[in-house]
Amino acid sequence: MVTSALLPNSRTESDGSVVLRVLSYNIRSMRDDTDALARIITACAPDLVLVQEAPRFFRWRKKLARLAAASGQVVLTGGATAAGPAVLCSLRATVERTEDVLLPLTPGLHRRGFATAVVRFGGARLGVLSCHLSLDGAERYEQGVMLLDRLAGLGVEHAVAGGDLNDRPDGRTFRLLASRLQDCRTVAPWGGEHTWTRSEPPKRIDAVFATKGIEVLGCGVPLDQPGVTRADLAAATDHLPVLAAVRIPAA
């Protein structure tokens, strides 16, 4: 667990394991202050950004690419092709493969999807999944089951998944995921807890999960991360981001 105010920086350890920073962020289709959004992402210095509500309509690829460039990232996968989730990554990543998955559509509800990839950072190989689960409880649970199946199907020993779950830690779907994966915030709490503060009471509905075998070094809302200001957090989007530091064993 992190005992200082700062998360560990990305690095390769002497044993070949790799420390990575993973940021999960619902960006509300970039309808708010995109400069503030880029400043937050940049200040968090992530190796991976698990995006929800990426732009999906007119010139969506250019908008997402512009955000990536402004925050020192490149677009790895996702966007409209995954119904909103996307993954950005730093230039440290070597990409093995990507796949965008559209989930079954329930009539009257929004289309949902997963943005997935397998990447390497140095000697570490990692599966990645970004998600935005349903507002409907029954559909959300089914999507949670599909998320676990999709992670298992990536064919890698270690993986991280994150996103807007639309569920709290005591909810059925959140508990399902936490029973099979490490809820990084619970394992190593750091920073702030609540990711949705636009209504009372505030809630933790966004999370980063890691498979067993990954060491979680710290996870939470980066309220005290240098370069992240309360003003930018309020202006960038309606959710607060989740930043996790994890150590991935060498492959």
pLDDT in tens, 222-239: 999 999 999 999 999 999
15: its two tokens: 């044993």
| Structural domains for the chain | 11-248 (3.60.10.10)
- Position 5 scores a pLDDT of 73
Q: d(Cα 152, Cα 49) in Å, to the nearest integer?
A: 21
pTM assigned to the model:
0.97
pLDDT in tens, 124-154: 999 999 999 999 999 999 999 999 999 999 9
Beta bridge partners of 196: 203
- Position 3 scores a pLDDT of 47
pLDDT in tens, 85-122: 999 999 999 999 999 999 999 999 999 999 999 999 99
- Position 6 scores a pLDDT of 85
- Position 251 scores a pLDDT of 87
Answer yes or no: is pLDDT of 57 > 50.
yes
